């Protein structure tokens, strides 16, 4: 999976090399804060319940923790507090399936067989070495701040269009690019998402957003 990660990173860097420098962001403006509250309400995230609203996202991912990396396809489906996250690498035929429902949390795909636990992020970290903030990603991936009580106060920078370009929260830095209108929700959604904390990196190139 390391070769796939390197290829995806090189392609992204090549695509960004010719882009002009982004305009400065506005932090803490009343207009920007109001726009964020409006977006959160439209997406059902006004109460920071990142796992509650039903939605589906498909695309490509790249992960790295400074020692190991992986890349492939991602399918994220959630609703009513339930989650189904599929990470698959077609070239290596390796894949992970994380499911959270009323029966508990199960991670499948590893050589040791299905694993169960009560913390999805910890289960994924212990099995793969990847530190992915799953409870916050349901908000962060859609450009909305996660619960400040759990992840600390956010710092959000918006562009001239009042869409978030950068969210700093819980030690993580989220950067957003290539916003498009999702036909199902009629809301602008990011199609390039970069998340980083120290040596941990998560990059997502979204191919489709939708309502489940």
63 pLDDT higher than 90: no
Q: H or E element: which one contains 88? A: strand 82-89
pTM over 0.95: no
Q: At 53, list the tokens.
A: 């609203």
Q: Is the pLDDT of residue 212 over 80?
A: no
Structure tokens at 42: 């439209």
Rounded percentage of the chain residues whose pLDDT exceeds 70: 87
pLDDT in tens, 110-132: 777 888 988 888 888 888 777 78
For the record, the structure tokens of 141 come out as 């991936």
Q: What is the CATH number of domain 2-10+26-205?
A: 2.50.20.10
Rounded average pLDDT over 42-57: 91
* Cα dist from 178 to 43, 84, 92, 100, 130, whole Å: 18, 25, 29, 30, 26
Determine the average pLDDT of the residues in 66-91: 86
Name which of 4-8, 86-90, 98-102, 172-176 the model is least confident about.
4-8
Rounded Cα distance, 94 and 20, in Å? 37
């Amino acid at each position: 999976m390391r070769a796939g990660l390197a290829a995806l990173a090189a392609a992204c860097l090549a695509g960004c090399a010719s882009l002009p420098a982004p305009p400065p962001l506005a932090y803490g403006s009343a207009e920007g804060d109001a726009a964020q509250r409006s977006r959160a309400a439209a997406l059902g995230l006004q109460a920071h319940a990142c796992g509650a609203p039903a939605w589906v996202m498909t695309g490509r991912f790249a992960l790295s923790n400074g020692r190991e990396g992986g890349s492939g396809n991602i399918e994220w489906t959630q609703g009513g507090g339930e989650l189904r996250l599929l990470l698959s690498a077609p070239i290596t035929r390796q894949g992970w399936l994380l499911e959270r429902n009323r029966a508990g949390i199960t991670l499948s795909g590893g050589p040791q067989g299905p694993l169960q636990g009560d913390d999805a992020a910890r289960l994924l970290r212990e099995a793969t070495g990847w530190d992915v903030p799953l409870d916050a990603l349901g908000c962060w991936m859609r450009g909305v701040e996660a619960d400040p009580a759990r992840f600390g106060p956010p710092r959000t920078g918006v562009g001239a269009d009042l869409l978030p370009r950068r969210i700093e929260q819980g030690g993580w830095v989220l950067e957003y690019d290539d916003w498009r209108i999702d036909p199902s929700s009629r809301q602008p959604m990011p199609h390039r998402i970069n998340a980083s904390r120290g040596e941990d990196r998560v990059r997502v190139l979204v191919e489709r957003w939708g309502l489940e």
